[in-house]
Structure 1
Amino acid sequence: MGLNKNNIAIFFLTFFTALGFSQEIPTPQDTTKVEHLEEVIISATRTHRQLSSLPLPAHLVSKKEIQRVNSLRLGDILNEQTGLITVPDFGGGEGIQLQGLDSQYTLILIDGVPLIGRSAGTLDVSRITVGNIKQIEIVKGASSSLYGSEALGGVINIITEHPKYGFNGNIYSRIGTFETYDTGANIGYKKNKLAVNAFLNNFRSDGYDLNESDITNTVEAYKSYTLNTKLDYDFTENTSLFVSGRYYTQQQDYVASEELKGESEIDEWNTHLKLSHTYSDKWSSYFEFYATRYKADEFLNNPDASRFSESDFNQLLVRPEIRGIYNPSKKSAFIGGLGWNVETLTRTDFAASPKFNTPYAYLQYDYNPTDKLNVILGARFDSHSEYDSQFSPKAALRYKLSEKLAVKGSVGYGFKAPDFRQLYFDFSNATVGYTILGYNAVITKLPEMQAEGQIANVLVPLTDFENDLNPENSIGINIGADYNPLSSLKLNLNVFRNNIDDLIDTRVIANKTNGQNVFTYYNVHEVYTQGLEINAHYKVSNQLKLSAGYQLLYAKDKAAEKAFDNGEIYARKTPSSSAFQLGKSDYFGLYNRSRHMGNIKVFYDLPQWDLDANIRGTYRSKYGLYDTNGNDYLDTYDDFVDGYAIWDFAINKTILQNYRLGFGIDNLFGFTDTQNISNIAGRIIYGKLNIHF
């Protein structure tokens, strides 16, 4: 369903007319002095830093914004941030694309420790509830100097709530379209040395169907539960203990056809322990132990209830780390750490049960030689049992030209290690007949297939697999400026470029006797993403706040650019027409990337009515998902998914201080694309009740 411009105009006219009339209602003047606290971010440097003084491109999403927009899952929030968009994968999960980089290049953390469970490179952000989130920290640019693998493009850290003094909490429930129910409770207690917190969430939906011509739904019915507990205990003023545990489970219908039906189940847990001690005004340290397991099982049954297929995925990560912070003066600080990642995976269609061992060390220096200049230098070394060691440096600086203008820039090395699938996969499709082998499995499995008479021709010699598969690596550059021409207006500009080498792709290494091929993974491509991001925040009054963001993106393969430039690529407008030569300007770029993305948000408060309202819009320009003219590249003559806009509206009313009612419409104008976009369900109408105590 497309957008109706008349409906948009009428809605905005009504909305802003209501705002205009509300301005006439006299508001009592608050004579209380308010102290505005600077936003503090942890993820960018692993220390507490004021966001406004940071030399890196970073953004915070506050608890207040999360509550006001009435979002359900992490992806709902991330989609409204500049330069971020959730992209559905083939399994129904949603990964986050950042600065044009795939979801496998962005590290997702909860309270500073990583989530696992990337079955096909994508970590599904829809499994993360926002009910107990204090703030979301988004750091863009290569961050492997602190976090190692998977932080090639950036880091998203979800900081969960800590209890306030005394006994307190809240209970909430949201009911919406598609029989969607989200119910949760967050309870905390804090007194003297002890603080405890417990959070429970239940999320379920009947799913939805964008294409009624087949038996399957776009998203099948599912239900999930999240349990998160925390404990803080101060032994002394200088020594404290933090312990947390998280458990997530999801059950979903699994329907492949009218005959084949089954279920899928996810079980995930993690435990996090941190003991901290302050030795003096200059020295402090932390010992941290983290363990997490992600398990996914699914099966399909025949109509007679016999088993047609089943698969499992069982990943375990254990990580101890010790960290130290040294502040030789008020102008400088060192942070360093030593740790060890031990990771195992048991999975269907694997040639082995692999185990990764990765000891690592990192060091960072944060220096303010003057009040105007901040410099950060850092590096990390990762040793790995299955690929070459990685050294990841990073440098960043910020210079304050005046009280209103500051410039900043950063350059860093990021890497993404080959995952278990790319190294150990051993899968043959029973229906079509093709085979996919992990890089490390080729040297043993291909000779076995030859001996069994399955191989007709070997296209790549086994000697090509004697060396290790290299990690994907990138040099990320970000240059920007912060400009505050007025106390009520903030402008941010960031220009970025990510050069990625040794990109891992698939290739055919042998032909099978059944006419199909054998594929494996290899290092081949050099790609880049580059562009700019602009953010603006304007406080019109104490009641009305506006913000807007825009990203321009170019994401291209260097080899493809060269082929187009050399006139080697041809296309046909129709299958029966003659082929014609394409030029460099005809190359659009990588798949599933939009040239333009933008967002706008309007937040309005009516304190005399204890009411707030907001409307948010996001825009994505056209993008290509497939090569439709047969030349293996995305060019201007291919078919594209049309650009679209999504508008969300929410209004909230507080009653008797502790009761908060919410109503909203997500995807206000009911946009859907049944052919290409599976994670936009259509118009969603909901109501929400939140009780504080």
Structure 2
Amino acid sequence: MQRIINVAVMLLLTAFIAHAQEAELKGVVILKNNQQPLPGANVYFSGTTTGTATNNKGVYQLKKLKPGVYDLSVSFSGFKKVKKSVSLQKGENVVNIEMVESDHSLGEIVVTGTGTAHHLKTAPVPTELISKKAIANAGASDFNDLMLNISPSFEFNPGTMGSFMSINGLGNDFILVLIDGKRMYGDIGGQNDLSRINPDDVERIEILKGAASLLYGSDAIAGVINIITKKSKQKLNVSNTTRIRDYATIQQSNTVDLNFGKISWNGNFNHKSSNGWQLSPYELDGNDLVETEAKAQNKYTDHTFSQVLTFRASDKWEVYAGHSVYEKDMFRPQSVGKYGYYFDDKTFEMGAKYLLNRKDYISLDYNYDQFRYYYRYNQDYKDYSDGDKSINNDQRLNNIRLKYVMAISKNNKLTLGEDYTEEKMVSEDRLEEGEAAAHTIAVYAQDEITLFNHLNVVAGIRAVKHKEFGGAFTPKVSVLYKLNSLNFRATYGQGFKAPTLKELYYAYEKGGTLYMGNQDLDPQRSQFYSAGIELNHHVISASLTAYENEVNDLIDYRDVELLEGDAENGISKRRQHYNVDESRSRGFDFLMNAKLGAGFTLGGGYSYVDARDLSNDERLDGVAQNYGNVRVNYEHAWKSYRFNANVIGRIQDDKSYDNGDDNAKGYDLWKVTTNHRFSNLGAFVLEAQLGIDNVFDYVDDSPYGSHYGTIHPGRTFFAGVTIHFAQ
């Protein structure tokens, strides 16, 4: 017994001595101008996995640290990052931090352009950033609305089941959408189902324009959109956002973050629903107008649940695993169709990151995505009963990514990577063999070099091997030259995109038109050039970028001859994929942001696009020539209350269809939003938003089925409330 007591005493003494030799760091992060606490600021040691976030009183605490010298970093969106060296002694150490708001977003950290972290103003690859603040100010109803409000380079062509997205005249097939760096998979009628993205969950959005195949592969000929979602490092963070609009439109986001020691968990549940709306009670039947109950925006309801669990095994490595489930119902009246549309998506992800030292690391990531598209019947029909579903297609993705980042020297960083992608589609009715599959393997190398402190060069090459279409190389080089407050940029890159499984094999009928794949398609190849100048000043920031993106063998639809018996089967037109010999998109983008003083900020941009099929010198369908955005912001903060008001405008001209014979109308839409933040509520922060969308009540009342520039229903009112709780 005495021996057991002696062992217990020794263990207690050992634990006490070990604890006494540990260091603890704590403090408060405050705003320099008014000494108010800053909740949610990230506090971490550079080059490690150790970090936390301030609670709603601005307090942070890091325990069980080894005494020594650390590089402490404190960051928060919209504020200048603070870096300082701290020497931690045994026991308690106190370091308080004062933060200053950025004059503009140029101090923000971006990662998408090179796969490594850079300040926006010195990122070697030109990157457009949509900040957390800009997202909150927009009061967007969905992702499409958000991008139209903020970036003139984006366009969305409305469709029955969703919108076709384009950047600078090139469409959805050439745009890679990432969520936290992972590819978003699954499409509706050829376009990404962007309903899965709730603007209230988005921390920031990073945009690359032009060929980005070097790092991201074949889908990135027109650009990359990387959506970084909100994740708090606070011990406990609970957030609920509810927004309501006309037409019984409700969007809700619920988030929980837990961070205890080495374990972090983020969970999110979203719900959105709307009764939809008509733009016109008529549709064209040949040359006649007939009454219809069809809606430009169908009634729908959707919800998403996602979660991620992260384990930081040490200050050198961490592992994570997560999954998400998404479902969406789109309803149509019985007089319009015998069915509505139903979609579901399931994803799983896992990965690990190991820090070799403070600058070098290895990461391995895997994600699986299964997206399925159904008809859901609204009446008894053939072998189906009201409420039954029949599946149209089942799309599956497996993707494995390995990356190694090595700092060769202070001015030279090398990135090596390997990317394996496997795709499979199953559709008994729409694929000739019932299923189709393809896989791609790629390796890449990228070198970032700084010369003479003023010249940055990023150069690299990707080698890709496709199952059906062989190999290709896609090099890219970007150059940044800094001269005082001016940046000069130039980029050249090549792209390679094999035809998709749908473009090769998929066939379906809609409204009497049979849309068909083509197994004789060639891969699409591109060459991208851009050059630009940026002004970075504490009062004004502006950029002007000219570009040209040449795409050979672009895949599009064309009419082909009808076959005998088509009329008896209800087929009045056949359209098949084919390769356009030569096409290109050229133009320029202008972006600016200016501090006007007295709390006012003016921002916006203009985009000119000339997108053409060069084989017949016709404009590409669905592309306007002139796009513009205007944003006027006023902000003022009192001790515990912050007020923000915004006027946001979107202007664009006609979009070409059928070489100008059936254009979609141009429009301008204006929005007013006000935001109110109350922070002197203990562990709670309350935010409210009120606004008017489409202030001047513009409605395109063309008959149903026409080409629309916008399907906005007219002047609408919206309100939202967000409640944060954090400790």
Band the TM-score falls in, shorter-chain normalisation: 0.7 to 0.9
1:686 paired residue among 718, 721, 727: 718
**Which has the larger share of strand?**
2
Aligned to 1:144, which of 213, 224, 234?
Answer: 213
- Counterpart of 1:367? 449
Cα drift, residue 31 of structure 1: 7.5
Give the letter aligned to residue 240 of structure 1: E
**Corresponding residue of 2:628:** 598
Tell me the distance in 2 between the aligned counterparts of 1:49 and 1:204. Answer: 39
Aligned to 1:53: 122
Contact persistence 2:294–2:336 (CA under 8 A): no
Partner Cα separation in structure 2 for residue 263 and residue 435 of structure 1: 19
Among 640, 644, 648, the alignment partner of 2:671 is 648
Residue among 63, 67, 70 paired with 2:132 = 63
Contact kept in structure 2, 1:84 and 1:96, CA below 8 Å: no
Q: By how many angstroms is 1:72 displaced?
A: 3.0
Q: Does 1:544 align with 2:600?
A: yes
Indicate whether 1:405 and 2:482 are aligned.
no
Residue number in structure 2 paired with 1:623: 655
* More displaced 10-residue stretch of structure 1: 406-415 or 159-168: 159-168
What does residue 22 of structure 1 align with? none
Give the aligned partner of residue 23 of structure 2. none
**8 Å contact from structure 2 (residues 700, 711) kept in 1:** no
Q: Distance in 2 between matches of 1:174 and 1:31?
A: 32
Deviation at 1:306, TM superposition (A): 5.4
The Cα shift of 1:55 comes to 3.3
Q: What RMSD over aligned residues (CA atoms) do the two structures have, in Å?
A: 2.4
Q: Does 1:279 align with 2:356?
A: yes
- Deviation, 1:112, is 0.5
1:3-42 equivalences under 5 Å are 30=34, 34-35=99-100, 38-42=107-111
Deviations 1:407-457 (A, max 9, x none): 00101112332111221124467x84x6554223xxxxxxxxxxxxxxxxx
Q: 1:505 to 1:241 in 2, by over 3 A?
A: same
Q: Counterpart amino acid of 1:489? A: I
Deviations 1:70-128, CA, capped at 9 Å, x for gaps: 22321121112334334235433113210111122111010111111124331132331
> 1:217/1:119 Cα in 2 relative to 1: closer, same or farther (>3 Å)?
closer
Over 3 Å counting, the alpha-carbon distance change for 1:509 and 1:491 in structure 2 is: closer
Aligned length: 599
TM-score normalised by structure 2 residue count: 0.78
Aligned pairs for 1:256-275 (under 5 A) are 258=335, 260-275=337-352
Task: Specify which of 192, 200, 217 is matched with residue 261 of structure 2.
Answer: 192
Q: How far apart are 1:326 and its partner, in Å?
A: 0.9
Alpha-carbon distance change, 551 to 284 in structure 1, aligned in 2, over 3 angstroms: same
Contact 1:299–1:310 (Cα < 8 Å) also in 2: yes
Is this contact kept in 1: 2:340–2:378, CA < 8 A?
no
Q: CA deviation at 1:305?
A: 7.5
Asked if residue 424 in structure 1 is aligned to residue 505 in structure 2, the reply is yes
Contact 1:505 1:521 in 2 (8 A): yes
Change (3 A) 1:334 1:607: same
Shifted more, 675-684 versus 59-68: the winner is 675-684
Give the Å deviation of 1:147. 0.7
1:67 CA drift (Å)? 1.8
Matches of 1:259 and 1:590 in 2, distance apart?
31
Task: Say which is worse superposed, 355-364 or 603-612, in terms of deviation.
Answer: 603-612
Following TM superposition, by how much is the alpha carbon of 1:244 offset from its aligned partner in structure 2, in angstroms? Answer: 2.5
The reply on whether 1:165 has 2:234 as its aligned counterpart is yes
Residue equivalent to 2:149: 80
The answer (yes or no) to whether the contact 1:253–1:264 under 8 Å persists in 2 is yes
Offset at residue 494 of structure 1 (A): 0.4
Distance 2:496 2:655 in 1: 27
When structure 1 is superposed on structure 2, of 420-429 and 299-308 the one drifting more is: 299-308
- Tell whether the 8 Å contact from 2:316 to 2:354 is kept in structure 1 after alignment: yes
Q: Select 1:439's aligned residue among 499, 506, 518.
A: 518
Structure-2 change in CA distance of 1:306 and 1:378 (3 Å): same
Contact preservation (8 Å) 1:491, 1:534: yes
Say whether the 8 Å CA contact 1:321–1:337 is kept in structure 2. yes
Q: Deviations over 1:196-215 (max 9, x none)?
A: 11111111111111122312
Output the CA distance in 1 between the equivalents of 2:159 and 2:34. 54
Paired residue secondary structure (1:78): helix
Rounded Cα–Cα distance in structure 2 between residues aligned with 1:537 and 1:512: 57
Give 2:205's aligned amino acid: I
Q: Which runs of 5+ in 2 are unaligned?
A: 1-31, 37-97, 282-290, 567-571
The yes-or-no answer on 1:474 pairing with 2:526 is yes
Does 2:354 match 1:322? no
Inter-partner Cα distance in structure 2 for 1:683 and 1:560: 41
User: CA distance change for structure 1 residues 346 and 397 in 2, over 3 Å: closer, same or farther?
Assistant: same
- Residue deviations 1:40-82 (CA, integer Å, cap 9, x gap): 1111111111111123332111122222222232112111233
Mapped partners of 1:260, 1:160: distance in 2: 37
SS at match of 1:522: strand
Alignment pair present for 1:610 and 2:666? no
The aligned residue for residue 671 of structure 1 is 698
Kept after mapping to 1: 8 A contact 2:457/2:478: yes
Matched letter for residue 331 of structure 1: N
Structure 1 unaligned spans of 5+: 1-27, 441-464, 562-586, 628-632
CA distance in 1, matches of 2:237, 2:672: 29
2:505 maps to a residue whose letter is: Y
Distance 2:129 2:697 in 1: 29
- Cα pair 1:55 1:409 within 8 Å, conserved: no
Structure 2 letter corresponding to 1:193: K
Query: What CA distance in whole angstroms lies between the structure 2 residues aligned with 1:79 and 1:109?
Result: 18
